[in-house]
Structure 1
Amino acid sequence: MSTRHILLGLLASGPSHGYDLKRRHDERFPQARPLAYGQVYTTLQRLVRNGLAEVDGTASDGGPERTAYRATEEGVRELARWAAQIVPPAPFVTNELFTKVVVAILTGGDADAYLLAQRAAHMCRVRELGALKTASGSDLTTVLSAEYALAHLDADLRWMTATAAQLTSLAAEVCPT
């Protein structure tokens, strides 16, 4: 995930100060790790240095002085270039779930029991995301994020089902009798 492009995207809708950008990031990307204020201000400084953003002004509004930033024309063009780039699909996806099943098969562990327990955990998360997605007041970002996560959980569940059906033959390949 590109923090600089996310901040440029948030600035594209109009000038904002760092505090507001951090808040909007955390609202719009609820499943992502929240940004640290230091990361926001460091990224804003780099955007200004690189000519992608500029200071729009400062105001105190009775509180601490806040600097507002806005995207420059070059920043808007950079954002459009980045947004148009196709993300190449990963040639192979390896995650902890896959690794634990392979290790269980290689070591004679109970891969079937692990898959059953992991399936139960996945199904619990599917129910949570389904409820979040359909809850009244769910905003578009929350719904899209839940749908994205649900699609990945569905793929994991299908992989677990296919793998569980092959465990006997997979174990025989590893430890032929």
Structure 2
Amino acid sequence: MSTAHVLLGLLAGGPLHGYELKRAHDQRLPQAKPVAFGQVYATLGRLQRDGLVVTAGQAQEGGPERTAFQVTDAGRQRLDEWLAEIEPPAPFVSSTLFAKVAVAVLVDGAQRARDYLVAQRAAHMGRLRELTAIKTDPASPLGDVLAADFAILHLDADLQWVSNTLERVADLHREVQP
């Protein structure tokens, strides 16, 4: 995820200061990794340096002075270009789950991989239950439901892979220990 582009998107709705941007990020992308305040301000600095945002005033509402930022025409153009870019499918497998299973097979053979896969399947099933509760709760905001759908489909794919791999590991175990 591009934090800069997400912040530009949030600013497209109107000027916000750093604290409001962080809060808006965490509310509108509830299942995404939270963005740190330092990351917000560092990203705003780069966006300002690149002419994609400008300051839109300062306010001091019972606390420290806060600078609001607004997106420039160049920033809107950059955001539009980013939104139009198609994300290419990942060319490589870069999953920690895959790496652990592959290494377990290499190091200790089928049994350790099997034990890991069974435990991982249980963790995935627990997370699926949590996400399904979010998805089926009529009070859940649309952003939460969309994030839950996204995560559920990825977990389903992982679970299919875990099932297939458990079968392959069982076959390997039978070959090694007839």
User: Cα offset for 1:172?
Assistant: 6.9
Is the CA contact 1:105–1:171 (under 8 Å) kept in the aligned structure 2?
no
Partner of 1:162: 164
| Residue-by-residue CA offset, 1:16-44 (whole Å, 9 max, x unaligned) | 11110011111112222322222212211
Whether 1:115 aligns to 2:117 is yes
Partner of 1:139: 141
User: Cα offset for 1:176?
Assistant: 9.4
SS of the counterpart of 2:57? strand
Unmatched 5+ stretches in structure 2 = none
Is the CA contact 2:110–2:173 (under 8 Å) kept in the aligned structure 1?
no
Alpha carbons of 1:132 and 1:149: their partners in 2 closer, same or farther (altered >3 Å)? same
| Residue-by-residue CA offset, 1:57-84 (whole Å, 9 max, x unaligned) | 1122343322111100110000000111
Partner of 2:131: 129
Aligned equivalents of 1:82, 1:48: Cα separation in 2: 18
SS of the counterpart of 2:39? helix
After TM superposition, the structure 1 stretch with the greater mean CA deviation from structure 2, 135-144 or 55-64, is 55-64
Give the aligned CA root-mean-square deviation in angstroms.
2.0
Whether 1:79 aligns to 2:84 is no
| Residue-by-residue CA offset, 1:95-115 (whole Å, 9 max, x unaligned) | 222222223323224133332
Unmatched 5+ stretches in structure 1 = none
Superposed structure 1 runs of 4+ greater than 6 Å apart: none
Aligned equivalents of 1:5, 1:33: Cα separation in 2: 15
Aligned equivalents of 1:94, 1:6: Cα separation in 2: 24
Aligned equivalents of 1:68, 1:78: Cα separation in 2: 20
TM-score by length of 1: 0.89
- In the alignment, which of 151, 154, 157 is matched to residue 152 of structure 1? 154
Aligned equivalents of 2:154, 2:162: Cα separation in 1: 12
Aligned equivalents of 1:169, 1:137: Cα separation in 2: 46
Aligned equivalents of 2:48, 2:30: Cα separation in 1: 27
Aligned equivalents of 1:129, 1:7: Cα separation in 2: 26
User: Cα offset for 1:169?
Assistant: 3.6
TM-score by length of 2: 0.89
Identity of matched residues, %: 56
Aligned equivalents of 1:92, 1:176: Cα separation in 2: 32
